[in-house]
């Protein structure tokens, strides 16, 4: 497991600097004070969401920002406009999206009525998701009550909109035949319709 440190001599003017990174931990310098933060921890208004040996994702005042090793986040930084995705409505009135789950692309049906993202057991196996290790549950479907498992997908990406540790319901068998993009992902985003398009934005 690698761990890297970087000299601060040329970053003395920075407000927040990523000076050391490793999986699940970051060493940040804020106004000259060094902070060691583990994933999920909050110190001096900075929450570490995730980290590896090259970059980390932090949250400050509800805004998430990625820092590369040695990069700085100066005070008074501006937040760029969030990513926006536009989906065309099909002839049946549905919206479909190409979504990456842990780097694997899956065509999904946008379903704001689904509490979570939902996959069939068959699809989960194709994606390498060990769902049997998840929390066993019972889910109501059009065909009745079925066995399901609640798991968390490390990363989901919709055309540049990325969310981490997303709850996913995996239903044993082959249904739903088309995975559902439900509210465990969409609930963190803004959704609106615009002239036959579904606009999803951060």
Q: For 82-132, what is each residue's pLDDT tens digit?
A: 688 999 888 888 999 999 998 899 999 999 888 899 999 999 999 999 998
191 pairs with which residues across the strands?
A: 200
Mean pLDDT of 168-180: 90
Q: Checking DSSP bridges between strand 161-171 and strand 180-181, what pairing results, if any?
A: unpaired
**139 shares a domain with 45:** no
Mean pLDDT of 130-137: 90
- pLDDT at position 126: 93
Between 201 and 141, residue with greater pLDDT: 201
**177 shares a domain with 147:** yes
The yes-or-no verdict on residue 21 having pLDDT over 90 is no
Give the domain-ending residue among 46, 73, 100: 73
- pLDDT at position 73: 56
Contact predicate 134/151, CB 8 Å = yes
- pLDDT at position 95: 94
The yes-or-no verdict on residue 18 having pLDDT over 90 is no
Q: Rounded distance, CA 147 to CA 162, Å?
A: 29
C-alpha neighbours within 13 Å on the C-beta side of residue 194 = 11
Q: Which of 33-47, 99-113, 131-145 has the lowest mean pLDDT?
A: 131-145
**106 shares a domain with 64:** no
Question: What tokens were used for 124?
Answer: 């989960």
Q: Which of 52-56, 73-77, 164-168 has the lowest mean pLDDT?
A: 73-77
Give the domain-ending residue among 45, 73, 101: 73
**155 shares a domain with 103:** yes
Q: Per-residue confidence at 202, pLDDT binned at 50, 70, 90?
A: confident
Three-class SS state of 193: strand
- pLDDT at position 142: 64
Q: Per-residue confidence at 78, pLDDT binned at 50, 70, 90?
A: very low
* Owning domain of residue 62: 4-73
**112 shares a domain with 50:** no
């Amino acid at each position: 497991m690698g761990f890297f440190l970087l000299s601060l001599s040329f970053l003395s003017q920075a407000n927040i600097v990523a000076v050391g990174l490793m999986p699940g931990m970051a060493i940040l310098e804020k106004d000259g004070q060094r902070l060691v933060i583990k994933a999920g921890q909050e110190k001096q208004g900075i929450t570490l969401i995730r980290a590896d040996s090259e970059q980390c994702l932090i949250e400050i005042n509800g805004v998430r920002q990625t820092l590369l090793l040695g990069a700085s986040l100066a005070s008074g930084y501006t937040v760029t406009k969030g990513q926006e995705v536009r989906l065309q409505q099909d002839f049946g009135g549905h919206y479909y999206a190409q979504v990456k789950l842990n780097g694997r692309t899956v065509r999904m049906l946008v379903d704001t009525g689904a509490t979570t993202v939902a996959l069939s057991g068959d699809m989960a196996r194709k994606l390498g998701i060990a769902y049997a290790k998840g929390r066993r549950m019972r889910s109501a479907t059009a065909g009745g009550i079925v066995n399901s498992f609640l798991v968390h997908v490390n990363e989901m990406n919709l055309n540049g909109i990325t969310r981490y540790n997303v709850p996913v319901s995996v239903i044993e068998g082959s249904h739903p035949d088309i995975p559902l993009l439900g509210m465990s992902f969409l609930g963190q985003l803004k959704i609106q319709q615009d002239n036959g398009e579904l606009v999803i934005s951060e």
